[in-house]
Structure 1
Amino acid sequence: MSRAEAERLGRWGERRAAWWLRLQGWRILDQRVRQRAGEIDLIARRGRTTAFIEVKTRTTVAALDLAIDDYRLRRVAAAVEAVSHRYARSGDDIRIDIILIAPRTWPRHLVNVWHA
């Protein structure tokens, strides 16, 4: 898969994840927030919870099992640490989630995957 195709697939997955989150009652606060430390794909709030979400999109469900690792999670966590004060309200629960996307399947939402 070319870099351009991978970029298109990733953006499609992020749009699908945002749509799915909205159906679950989340409000999308921001998308594709880039920091020197890493990138946060989606930032969402529902009630008193602010979630910083890494979206991984693959062409097959089997490929999703290898889509995330400690290195990628550390980069997301570092980016969250740099920007969380801009998005989370006082008293909010802050967490890092992952949404796994593959064609012809429901999104898989993994909640609170990072514990420092």
Structure 2
Amino acid sequence: MGAQTARRRQSERLGRLAEWLAAAYLVATGHRILARREKTRFGEIDLIAVRRRRVAFVEVKWRRNFDQAGPPVSARQARRIASAAEAWLWQHPALRDHEIGLDCMQLAPGRLPRYYRNLLQPV
């Protein structure tokens, strides 16, 4: 196994851990998880959760620390996530009348999660 393959596997493991921790945080704050790693023709949505009448499409980001520069996601990623969310909603018409949020959660070792509501509005 090459070094690049090992790094990719490690990144995948950290990503799955981050998604699990993000889901636990959302449940602890009153959300119900509707889907994890949901695939659409536009891409994958890390987490889909509902709380009251708001459906949150959550992009999860693991960081070594919160001081890493730059936005959590690019404008292109935000558009992809918005398209994937729209496609998912077409498959779940009962939720179309809910408020929709394109959110982001950042996690870092030894830190509480940072949850950003409506951060990913497409540009």
TM-score for the superposition, normalised by structure 2: 0.85
Distance 2:84 2:117 in 1: 18
Identity score, percent: 39
Contact 1:51–1:95 (Cα < 8 Å) also in 2:
yes
TM-aligned CA distance change 1:68 to 1:90, over 3 Å: closer
Q: What residue in structure 1 maps to residue 86 of structure 2?
A: 81
Q: Which runs of 5+ in 2 are unaligned?
A: 1-5
Q: What residue in structure 2 maps to residue 115 of structure 1?
A: 121
Contact 1:98–1:111 (Cα < 8 Å) also in 2:
yes
Distance 1:65 1:12 in 2: 22
Which residue identity does 1:91 align to in structure 2? Answer: D
* Pairing partner for 1:94 from 89, 100, 105: 100
* Pairing partner for 2:68 from 55, 63, 86: 63
Contact 1:64–1:100 (Cα < 8 Å) also in 2:
no
Q: What residue in structure 1 maps to residue 110 of structure 2?
A: 104
**Does residue 14 of structure 1 match 2:19?**
yes
CA RMSD of superposed structures (Å) = 1.8
Greater CA deviation, 38-47 or 72-81?
Answer: 72-81
Partner SS for 1:42? strand
* CA radius of gyration, larger in: 2
Q: Which runs of 5+ in 1 are unaligned?
A: none
